[in-house]
Structure 1
Amino acid sequence: MKKIVVKVTIIREKCKTVILESVAKLDGIQSLNLDEEKGTLTVVGNVDPVSIINSLKKKKMAAQIESVGPPEEKKPDEEECKKACEKMIECCRRPCSRMPFGWYPHRPVI
């Protein structure tokens, strides 16, 4: 899988539609992102960069490959990790009983 950034010319609203429709038809695409301000199309997936350019040029859209590389990996958020650790610590502090099929926390009988 790779991340491909393509420089595109976006003149009006219809350009965005044409760009997304022509590239979305290609096989192996995992995600598409069109940035109007920068004028870039980011494609993530197993796609040949040349086929992206060819599909855009067939629709008379100016396009140029800016970069090809590995996709960015998402790093876990520190707050999410802290919350998960707190939940685990709370669970381990509760008294447990041993049953023939495993451990379970005590629950008060109401």
Structure 2
Amino acid sequence: MQTVIVKVDWSSEKHKKKVIELVSKNEEVQSFNVDDKNKQLTVNGSMDPISLLKKMRKKVPTADIVYMESEASRMLEASQRQSNPRNWEPSAPPLPGYLR
């Protein structure tokens, strides 16, 4: 399972409804959350993020992946923390603009 956060520029309710309909019809998506304030869509599931993004771009003018994390990367970081808890550091710096 993976988590993908997509920044979507929905300029109208029509665009927003199209994106929500697209995501909700995808069988590989287990859950999603809409953040109207930041114009972001958080999607969880076993979907291919690139193909999902391509489909979104057909519906709305602008859609970009802001953050992507898979179950495998979470498990790897957890095992690194357990093996060396004092000297553990994240494998990558946080994305700018995501953690505020």
* TM bracket, shorter-chain basis: 0.5 to 0.7
Figure out how many residues of one structure are paired with residues of the other and give that number: 72
TM-score, with normalisation over the residues of structure 2? 0.64
List structure 1 runs of 4+ shifted beyond 3 angstroms: none
Q: Give 5+ residue unaligned stretches, structure 1.
A: 73-110
TM-score, with normalisation over the residues of structure 1? 0.58
> Match for residue 49 of structure 2?
49
Q: Is the 8 A contact 1:19 1:61 kept in 2?
A: no
Whether 2:6 is the aligned partner of 1:6: answer: yes
Whether 2:25 is the aligned partner of 1:25: answer: yes
Tell which has more relative contact order, 1 or 2 (C-alpha 8 A, sep 6+).
2
Change (3 A) 1:61 1:26: farther
Q: Give 5+ residue unaligned stretches, structure 2.
A: 75-100
Show CA shifts across 1:4-38 (max 9, x none).
00010022222220110122222211101111111
